Structure formats: C-alpha cells, structure tokens
Amino acid sequence: MGKRMLTAICVGALAALAMGLSQVVSAVPKESLPSKADQSCLKCHEYDKQDNILAGKLKSVSRKAKTIGLQIGKDMEVVSFDDATKLENAPSFTKIPEGESVKIVYYMKNGKGFAKEVVVKKGIEVPEDKLISEDEVAKLVAQGPEKGKYVLLDSRPDTMFDEGHIPTAKKMPFFMFDKLKDTLLPTDKSALQIHYCAGFT
C-alpha cells in the first residue's frame, strides 16, 4: 500500500473519529445545578423555578482569593470568580456595597462553584413627572378603566397578585412582559398606563 493511500486512510479515520467525538460532546447535557435564594428575593423573582442561580445579600468580596460571599437566609454561600465572569450594574466586584441584593449564575469547575454572571440589583430612578400618587390612582379606579381611560398593570409575581391587588388591575408579572405586552398593553398609545409592583408606581 502506498504512502499516499495510507495517509488518506489515516486522515479519513481521524476525521470520522473527530465527528464521532463532537456528536458525543454535543449529546452531553448542560449541567443543571440547584438554585438557592433568599426569601426576600423570592418575593419578586421565581429563582426557585430556575437552575444554576444563587441569590441573596452580598456579605464579602475577596479580591485576592477572587471569591464572593452571599448570605442566603441563615446560610453563607461562597463562589469564585475570574476575568471571564460577567458583572452587571457595578463598576467592579469590590465596589458592590455590602448587604446589596445580588444574583449569581454559577457552574461547577474543579469541584468549586464558579460565577458565570453576577448581577447587582439596580435601583430604580423614576422621573417625578412619571410617578402617580395613591390618591390619583384611587380616583381613577373609582371611575373604572373605560371612563378613566387607563390600564392598571400589576408587575408582581402571580402569588402576590393572587393574595391581593388593586381593583381593576391586570396581572402582568414583569418577567412575562414580553409575552403579555401585545395582549395587555393598550393599542391606543395615548392611553394612561399605570404599572405597579412592591416598590415604585
């Protein structure tokens, strides 16, 4: 058998092996890790229904060890971070205020929890002219949506809405906004939209 023929057979065999390995690798499911969240986080977020999330209050950041400590209820969770970790709503890890609410998307690496993404809870800044008082809402609710020409949307999770809500409000959890906007938002763009949650209205 000539050298060219042998080389062609070897190259073909290696290509087939590589294709087989890539199919095996792609067939391996992504690692699903249990989520753990503080009760204060679960009031507005359904982290308990998702995988790979840790959510709680920032307790400590070690720049030297590259670790983040989160207080979740009575427990302390420590995860590592590196240059590939994505950070949102803070200029650096050491600039995150202690006690701030933080969500971490994590994975396991060499037996340790590693942060893929760290999201610091962002404060809401609403211009004064975009806020509405309780008295104004009460007057509109007394008139009803038709006469008052408004739509009142409750942005809290389903459980909070079911426990009690403002009369005439429609259930529109903020994490479902994209799915519900076409059916719940008014087609008349001049109509008054009032969104409320457990904080600003």
Three-state DSSP at 96 gives: coil
Which pair of structure tokens corresponds to residue 72? 């979740």
So what's the pLDDT on residue 44? Answer: 74
What are the sequence ranges of the domains in the chain?
36-120, 128-196
Assess contact for 19 and 25: CB atoms under 8 A.
Answer: no
Low-confidence ranges of the chain (pLDDT < 50): 1-19, 21-29, 200-201
CATH topology of domain 36-120: OB fold (Dihydrolipoamide Acetyltransferase, E2P) (2.40.50)
**In terms of CATH architecture, what is 128-196?**
3-Layer(aba) Sandwich (3.40)
So what's the pLDDT on residue 27? Answer: 39
So what's the pLDDT on residue 3? Answer: 44
SS (H, E, C) 111-132: CEEEEEEEEECCCCCCCHHHCC
Which pair of structure tokens corresponds to residue 140? 């509109």
Which pair of structure tokens corresponds to residue 27? 């067939």
Three-state DSSP at 199 gives: coil
Q: 24 in the Ramachandran plot: left (φ > 0), alpha (ψ -120 to 50) or beta?
A: alpha
- Closest of 171, 170, 173 to residue 150, by C-alpha: 170
Backbone angles phi, psi at 197, to 5 degrees: -140, -145
So what's the pLDDT on residue 182? Answer: 87
